[in-house]
Amino acid sequence: MWPNHTTEYGARVRHLWSLIAGLVAAPVTWILMALGQSGSIETITRWAETGTFNTARLIEPAVYLAVAGIILGLIATLRISPAGPLAAGLLLVAPYAALFGSPLRVRSAVPGNWGLFGDPLPLRLPLDNGTLGLVGMLLLMAVFSVQRWRRWPSPPPPVPFMPGPPVYNDLVGPPAPTDPDTDPPTLAYPPADEPRAGGSPWATPPGATYRRDGTAE
C-alpha cells in the first residue's frame, strides 16, 4: 500500500505550527503573569494597608491573568500536536529547575528593570514565587494526553449511487399500461379530409333541410 503523502504533509504542518505556537506562548505567558501578579499584589496590599478598596483597580491585573490562562488553556487542551505544550512547558520549567543548580546566577540573568506601557515589568516575580514551575509542569503533563497521539479519523469513502426501483405514491399507483396500436389522446381537431363519426350537426351546411329518409335537400 502506497503511503499517503497528503496525510504525512498535513501532520508535519500541524507539528510545525504547534511548535511555533508553543515557542511564542511561553514568553507571552511569562510577561502576562508578571504583569498580572505584580498588579494584583500591589492593589491588594494597598487595600490591606489603607482599609479601603476599589475593585475597579483589580480589573487590569485580572485581565492580564485571564489572557495568560486562555493562552495556556489553548496550548494545553487543543488537540493539534504535542509539540506546542512540550516546547512551552520546557521553556517555563527550565528557569525554575535551573535554580537548583545556580539560583543567584539564574535570577540575575532574568531582567528586573524592564517596563511595558509605562508600568514596571517584574519578570523575576513568577520565577521567585514558583509560578513558572507550576505552569510548565501542567503543560508537560498535557503532552501525555492520549487524545493528542491519536490520529484524526479519516472521512468515510463516498458511497456509489445505485438507482433503486421506482417508488410510486399510494394514491396514484403505477401508470396504466398503454396499447401500442392506440394513438395517444390529443386535443387537436381532426383533419378536414377525415370523415367525422357520429353525425355532428356542424357537418350539415347552413340552411340545408332533411327529408324523412334522412337525406339533405
- Residue 198 located in a structural domain: no
Give the C-alpha separation, 166 to 111, whole Å. 79
Please tell me the total count of domains within the chain.
1
Residue 78 lies in a domain: yes
71 domain-assigned:
yes
Domain presence at residue 14: yes
Q: What is the pLDDT of residue 3?
A: 44
pLDDT at 1: 40
Q: Determine, yes or no, domain membership for 111.
A: yes
Cell 410510486 belongs to: 168
The answer for residues whose C-beta is within 8 angstroms of residue 36's C-beta and 6 or more apart is: 61, 62, 63, 64, 65, 68
Ordered DSSP codes for 182-206: SPPP--SPPPTTSPPTT--GGGSPT
Report the distance separating Cα 11 and Cα 6, nearest Å.
9
Domain that holds residue 88: 7-149
213 occurs within a structural domain: no
157 in any annotated domain = no
The tens place of each residue's pLDDT in the chain, 217 residues long, gives 444 445 676 677 877 888 888 899 999 999 999 999 998 999 999 999 998 888 888 999 999 999 999 998 888 887 777 888 899 999 999 999 999 998 899 998 988 888 877 778 899 999 999 999 999 999 998 888 655 555 555 566 676 766 666 665 555 555 666 666 666 666 665 555 555 555 555 555 555 555 555 555 5
Cα–Cα dist 58/1, whole Å: 61
Does residue 143 sit within a domain? Answer: yes
